[in-house]
Amino acid sequence: MLVVEIDQAVREVREHCASLSHPPRVVTSGNFATPLTVLGPVLAELPEARLHALNAQRDLPVHDGIVPETTFVGPGFRRHPRLAYVPCRLSMVPRLFHGPLAPDVVVVHTTVPHSGRVSLGLEVNVLPAAIEAARERGAVVVAQLNPRMPWTFGDAEISIEDVDLGVEVDVALTTHVARAPNDDARLIGSRVAAEIGDGATLQAGIGEVPDATIAGVLDRRGLRVWTEMFSDGVLTLEKAGALDRGTPVRTSFVFGSQELYDWVDDNPRVRMLRTETTNSPAAIAQQPAMTSINTALQVDLFDQANASRIGARIYSGFGGQTDFTVGASHSPGGRAFMALRSWHPRADVSTIVPMVDEPVTSFQHGAVVTEQGVAWMWGRSEREQARNLIEHAAHPSVRDDLWEEARELGLA
């Protein structure tokens, strides 16, 4: 790795891209670890490019020549007129970089070097695969070297030989402050928590329902974490003594408070793993009593969930929902929960519908949980599934209509 000033890094990336016969594809860290200090000037010098980032946030510098590209749409790309959404399970995204989405430039956010290595810190995700694909094809890898980035272990650690250019910066990391769960979320979380016993393995994501679920299991013991991401809820479990001290907390990316970042820094109990490992259904299935908690925009009477689209418009994407639903369902003692409010507060409609009109994201969940109750799905006939959804998950104001639709669908 050659440490250079930002102007030189921009110049070398521009010259490399000028030699290509196609608009370059720039792959960068997503979520809250995007290396904006370096990425902004790099993109500004490229008249055309495809920018690939997972769960892009709103502050990405996307000019008119940039095509936002992603397999999971974040708020920064959502509703963008030039969005190129590539449907793909998150576990399989790394394969894309060795095939149809080969990178020409990779820009990552890392620690400063130590003993010939840097750490990807808070965001590992699909980046190791992108770096490997870049090395194979002679693409350029640029690292934003930040002393404030926590040093994390596992697949986060990469050799400085895999980085072409390093640019030293000193910028604050983006933090995320979770809002307190509302009454519905607390009730849903408590219902899920009641089904989690000692020694279970959690997919601990972010949001009101996961936070409320974690609040309900603080008195459990021997809990494990195998997840694609976590936030401050895992630190809450640690403080409560709920986690199994003999098992690493395993994840692929992290975002949350500065206190959380301080906890993961140089912490050998936190193991950052590549997405193709954390999201492998086979690896997930090996975790004892794997409990996945996902959400959706709609669930229908056939237990099909739409978590990706609103009408014809892509809202997010598959993400890890399909990976963890399948993996948890195959785990010894594991279960896949679909947790959502029975009534969508913004759209003012029922989230339990006769049949989803949009493409299905996942299906065959262990149970669907709303503030109304728990509708058990696994092992029930389709008629029993429909009855459980109507009687235990749907909002009371739509139950009569759902029964009528169920009869027309042959489910009653």
Supply the pTM of this predicted model.
0.95
83 and 191 fall within a common domain: no
Give just the sign of the alpha carbon dihedral 101, 102, 106, 110: positive
Which of 168, 193, 227 marks a domain boundary? 168
Read off the CATH number of the domain in which 140 is found. Answer: 3.40.1080.10
Averaged pLDDT for residues 31-52: 97
Contacts of 118 (CB under 8 A, 6+ apart): 1, 110, 111, 112, 143, 145, 157, 158, 160, 163, 166
123 and 10 fall within a common domain: yes
Query: What is the model's pLDDT at position 347?
Result: 84
Look up the domain containing 328 and give its range.
183-408
Which of 168, 192, 216 marks a domain boundary? 168
Q: Is the pLDDT of residue 206 over 80?
A: no
CA distances from 222 to 216, 250, 307, 389 (A): 15, 15, 31, 32
Count up the domains in the chain and report the number: 2
Q: 275 in a domain, yes or no?
A: yes
Query: What is the model's pLDDT at position 207?
Result: 78
Q: 318 in a domain, yes or no?
A: yes
Q: 175 in a domain, yes or no?
A: no
87 and 220 fall within a common domain: no
Q: 176 in a domain, yes or no?
A: no
Q: 257 in a domain, yes or no?
A: yes
246 and 286 fall within a common domain: yes
Q: 173 in a domain, yes or no?
A: no
292 and 360 fall within a common domain: yes
List strand residue ranges (DSSP E) for 41-139, in order.
49-52, 66-70, 84-85, 105-110, 117-119
256 and 153 fall within a common domain: no
293 and 403 fall within a common domain: yes
146 and 189 fall within a common domain: no
Give just the sign of the alpha carbon dihedral 96, 74, 223, 325: negative
Q: 197 in a domain, yes or no?
A: yes
End-to-end Cα spacing for the chain: 66
Contacts of 395 (CB under 8 A, 6+ apart): 342, 343, 350, 352, 370, 372
Q: 201 in a domain, yes or no?
A: yes
Read off the CATH number of the domain in which 220 is found. Answer: 3.40.1080.20
Q: 132, 157, 228, 405: which is the annotated catalytic residue?
A: 228
Per-chain mean pLDDT for the chain: 96
Averaged pLDDT for residues 365-386: 97
Averaged pLDDT for residues 241-260: 97
| CA separation for the pair 56, 54 (Å, rounded) | 5
Q: Is the pLDDT of residue 231 over 90?
A: yes
Q: Is the pLDDT of residue 272 over 80?
A: yes
| CA separation for the pair 403, 390 (Å, rounded) | 7
Q: Is the pLDDT of residue 400 over 90?
A: yes
Query: What is the model's pLDDT at position 210?
Result: 85
10: Cα within 13 Å, side-chain hemisphere: 13
Share of the chain above pLDDT 90, in %: 91
Element (H, E) at 156: none
Query: What is the model's pLDDT at position 311?
Result: 83
153 and 189 fall within a common domain: no
Tokens of 309: 């689209």
Amino acid identity for residue 165 in this structure:
L
Tell me which residue of 274, 305, 9 sits closest to 141, measured CA to CA: 9
3-state secondary structure of 410: coil
Q: Is 228 a catalytic residue?
A: yes
242 and 218 fall within a common domain: yes
- Per-residue confidence at 282, pLDDT binned at 50, 70, 90? very high
263 and 391 fall within a common domain: yes
299 and 347 fall within a common domain: yes
Share of the chain above pLDDT 70, in %: 100
Contacts of 335 (CB under 8 A, 6+ apart): 195, 290, 291, 292, 328, 329, 366, 367, 378
